[in-house]
Amino acid sequence: METRALGPFQVGAIGLGCMNLCHAYGEPLSAPDAERLLLAALDMGVTHFDTAALYGFGVSETLVGRALAPHRSRFTLASKCGMDGVTGEDGVKRRVIDGRPEAIRKTCEEALRRLRTDVIDLYYLHRWDRNVPIEDSVGALAELVREGKIRAIGLSEVSADTLRRAHAMHPVAAVQSEYSLWTRNPEIAVLEACRELGAALVAFSPLGRGFLAGAVPDVATAEAFVAKDLRRAMPRFQGAHLASNLRWLADYTALAREAECTPAQLALAWLLHKAPHILPIPGTRTVGHLQENMAAASLRLSEDIVARLEALVNPGTVAGARYNAATQTEIDTEEFSA
């Protein structure tokens, strides 16, 4: 596989997002199946694994550590802090954004234990906590670098302005943001800011949360997803928005056939085509889809196909916001004008 720079590391152009091993979409894998998938990815040459304290409230990190710790020298390990599960007085664990230095340090120590490693290669601030200056959170991450507990710093879902403020405190190796044909927000400012600063743009949900892989064409309503599926609360998968998006999906699938690839491969190849500092991290729960995704690294798209793709799927043709109103307040990424 082609390699690309992820901060100081060279990794395969396509990595593996480890969120949906235990969290977010559909039913989670059993622990043995998740570990088999992780080992299959390693055997296929995946060298970039991305997890977070939030995913399954530590379950994803635990699975990654259990499966991959014996092979630690073979891959670049990324995880995230600043958004975690906190148990309330009612005994229920809930998602909390906390960018205080003491919370970042605590989460890192817990992550190192779960991941069964002495150092995390790339450690992201999962969300900017607006109650804490970005300089304070990045300062805490910089201290972890000095202590040798992490090797490089990343940010997730931040604006170009926040990125520059953070980078002035300590070099930022990567920004992770949702980026795909149907989510183009990084093109407003962050993609170029990353290029200027020498940071990678790590594209999460590069398959449009399964939509661009043809994984949800028969879903008539968001309620068709299982109860804990995040897509139930996302406007693009609801009502008239979903119906509108389904109308261009057939033409998108036809373009994939013309390009002699699958819809998922088309979406990933498009991202790799856009710029050399973009690294997509699709997730999956099957070895078959893993093989399909990794094969996209060898595809080359014609300029004609790219132009027709971008005319078909863009902010003007995709219906619905990517997050609901409550979640939207938690991110700092630039948004297109309504």
The residue type of 217 is P
Which residues, including other chains, have CB under 8 Å from residue 118's CB and lie 6 or more apart? 112, 148, 149
Q: Report the phi/psi class of residue 205: left, alpha or beta, with left for phi > 0 and alpha for psi in -120 to 50.
A: left
321: burial class by Cβ within 10 Å (0-12, 13-18, 19+)? middle
Query: Rounded to an integer, what distance in angstroms lies between the CA atom of residue 249 and that of residue 244?
Result: 9
Ramachandran assignment for 208, one of left (phi > 0), alpha (psi -120 to 50 degrees), beta (any other): left
Report CA-CA distances (Å) from 80 to 107, 112, 267, 284. Answer: 9, 11, 25, 19
Strands 172-178 and 9-12: unpaired
Catalytic option among 55, 123, 252, 323: 55
User: Is-catalytic flag, 124?
Assistant: no
Sign (positive or negative) of CA dihedral 307, 310, 316, 319: positive
Q: Which long-range contacts (CB under 8 A, 24 or more apart) does 98-104 make?
A: 98/129, 99/125, 99/127, 99/128, 99/129, 99/131, 99/132, 99/134, 99/136, 99/137, 100/129, 100/132, 100/136, 100/137, 100/140, 101/136, 101/137, 101/139, 101/140, 101/143, 104/137, 104/140, 104/141, 104/144
| Structure token digits, residue 196 | 């200027």
Catalytic residues: 55
